[in-house]
Amino acid sequence: MTKGLLDIEALDRAEIESLLTRAVDFQPLQTQRDKRLDLLDGRLVVNLFFEASTRTRISFEIAAKRLGADAISISAQGSSVSKGETLLDTVSTLSAMKPDAIVMRHAASGAPHFLARHLPTIPIINAGDGQHEHPTQALLDARTILDNRASLEGLRVAIIGDILHSRVARSNIHLLSKFGVDIVLCGPAPLVPQDLKHIAPGVSITHDIKQALRDTDIIMMLRVQLERQNETNFPAGEYSRFYGLRAENLALAKPDAIVMHPGPMNRGREISTEVADSSRSVILSQVENGIAVRMAVLERVLQ
Amino acid sequence: MAKLLIRNGRVIDPANRIDRVADVLLANGIVRGVGENLPSRGAEEFDATGLIVAPGFIDMHVHLREPGFESSETIESGSKAAAAGGFTSVCCMPNTSPVNDTAHLTRYIIERAKQVAKVNVFPIGAITKGSAGEELASIGAMQAAGTVAISDDGRPVMNSRVMRRAMEIAASFDIPVIDHCEDLNLSAGGDMHEGLASLRYGLRGIPACSEDVMVARDILLAEVTGARFHVAHLSTTNAIAMVAEAKRRGLRVTCEVTPHHFAIHDLEITPYDSNYKMKPPIRCSHDVAAMIEGIKAGYIDAIATDHAPHSVTDKMQEFERCPFGILGLETAIGLSLECLVHPGHITIERMIELFTTGPAGILKLNRGALTPGLPADVTLLDLESKWTYDVNKSASKSRNSPFDGKVFRGRAVGTIVSGELIWQA
């Protein structure tokens, strides 16, 4: 099978380190006047977004273009998908147009794996599949952590929120676990099932945010998936009180702890504006690193 | 073929406590006798030396998809798959289109089967009209037309009051009620068993308790109504414990398990391969062990396949979007031998019982034994022959099996229906 990037779970530590190291080379481009390299000149990347996304799609587009590749973005709305075409037919049609890689976001977990099995000649990069994984998000998160810490080893990372439905959490758990990080998952019990502690080594669970935050190096807040609140997983009105990150509970973490969020944020719900905009927040650095990391991924897949 | 004499096979007939090398004489569609050195008297002879000669296997839970979904399966193709799997009789669930909820449709299925089916086909009628779970179907009329049980399989009867009434009426007609036990509020949106694997793959879980609470409810209702209640495709540790307790208390409760529920667990499935998507889902290793223990202990009355063909187009979708169900008829014996008999969990006699007297007794089919006078249905088994299941050569119209390419030891090598050898390996 052609080498794409379907998930973090299957990547070994050396591959992750290689991508994170290479991303460093691309970071300075963000501030240069001439931001374009021609490492992938003449290559075609198709961004196939079956689920609404702005930041990830644009980040991949910019990453491709900065490497000199042509990038075409297609969304499900208005495409043949909305006319009832199957996923396999859509991508088969696109593959006949000979792209060099497909970046895909899809609401169904495993959709990129399904395609990779049936279209083994085109590398597929997972830009987020359902509730499964979002591998480039975990890579950019790791890059952001490493911009603030010497290494991942020995860190204590709290991931707080709706873990059950979060592809960001899954990818981060797999990545951080490979580096021996102490990972604390925290959120309402229906959104943090006990079996999650067996998903990777080094994972523990608490439903008490104070316990999760205590002596923590890195705080990863997750978006409250408002669209799922009708499932009565947790009373929406109480979420902020018990699981929101505010200045007073942030004080429980290490003094130099950083606050991360994959966005989009629900200010006043999972995170207070005061914290989101504080000097501890590296949320915009995450967005910036997204481009460098995705450049590294595209280069790895296409070269 | 008027007469067939099956010579020198190891005859295993649990109903008559026979396990010895003997001959079996079939004539004019009925069993004439079992014994040593039976005179041929003009019968065609079949040398079964080295084979097991068993009563015809019965699969009490299949989906033949006709009428309505003929692109997935027909009565003809499904019966061919049954014959190729060693089954002489199948019971077809009513979730066709239209749903088999009338005597008229029951008669249609029976007549159609007479025209095209290789094996005996016994319809199961719906509990409620359209299997919608609201208004009771005409249970008595369907039974008079040939329905052998009632079930809304594919769906549970969620309304407890409706289920109670159905059981009361079923009890008065002495027809078994087969329930697909699933609390839809607990399983809503689920795609696979809720556990570590579902968390890892980011797929929504179907918790074991969604089955358990309905089994519990139905056992309570069976006690209140005196109905014969049968749990379809039972798959959880707690459900089997409740059935065992109900049996101890003398309630008329029976259950079946499918081969895939004792063959594989959720951590063994190929992620996102829709051939592993079925309801109930492949459970965890703990539940798989409980199924095997339940079979050993005698709590499970029958093995049924829940043969659920779906066209390639329907299955070739994202896991979350494709329909539930897999083929089962042609791999059931191989899986049962591999998972139950070869490891020594049960004897071959017990396995045959689960495919013959078990389902026959639940459905009162007057089959499943080599008793003289019963229909001449026979399954011939070779316990040692190695073979590979190639789903592309399946007699079914569909191809949705997770066992494609699997190498088995032991299989059916001949299927005899009404004294006719209708399939031979």
pLDDT digit string, tens, across residues A113-172: 999 998 888 999 999 999 999 999 999 999 999 999 999 999 999 999 999 999 999 999
CA distance B60 to B56: 12
Choose, out of B200, B286, B312, the residue to mutate when testing the contact with A (most A CBs < 10 Å).
Answer: B200
pLDDT over 70 (residue B231): yes
CA distance B304 to B232: 9
Using a CB–CB cutoff of 8 Å, tell me whether A88 touches chain B.
Answer: yes
For residue A130, give the nearest of B196, B271, B320 by CB distance: B320
How does residue B21 score in pLDDT terms, banded at 50, 70 and 90? very high
For B374-403, how does the pLDDT look when each residue is reduced to its tens digit (9 = 90+)?
A: 999 999 999 999 999 999 999 999 999 999
Q: Which residues of A are catalytic?
A: 55-56, 83, 105, 134
What does the pLDDT read at residue A95?
A: 86
**Which two structure tokens, joined as six digits, stand for B258?**
């499918």
For B27-58, how does the pLDDT look when each residue is reduced to its tens digit (9 = 90+)?
A: 999 999 999 999 988 999 999 999 999 999 99
For residue A86, give the nearest of B201, B271, B317 by CB distance: B317
Residues of B within 8 A of A118 (CB-CB) are: 316
Using a CB–CB cutoff of 8 Å, tell me whether B203 touches chain A.
Answer: yes
CA distance A257 to A149: 10
Q: Which residues 6+ apart lie within 8 Å of A45 measured at CB?
A: A60, A64, A69, A70, A71, A72, A99, A100, A101, A102, A103, A298, A302
Q: Please, are residues B268 and B253 in contact by the beta-carbon 8 Å criterion? A: no
pLDDT over 80 (residue A111): yes
For A56-98, how does the pLDDT look when each residue is reduced to its tens digit (9 = 90+)?
A: 999 999 999 999 999 999 887 766 666 678 888 888 888 888 9
CA distance A109 to A187: 22
Q: What percent of chain B has pLDDT over 90?
A: 98
| A114, A255, B222 from B308: Cα distances, Å | 22, 59, 27
Q: What single-letter amino acid sits at B373?
A: G
Strands (E), B140-221: 150-151, 177-179, 192-193, 205-206
How does residue A101 score in pLDDT terms, banded at 50, 70 and 90? very high
CA distance A9 to A201: 12
Q: Which of B147, B122, B124, B142 is nearest to B56 (CA)?
A: B122
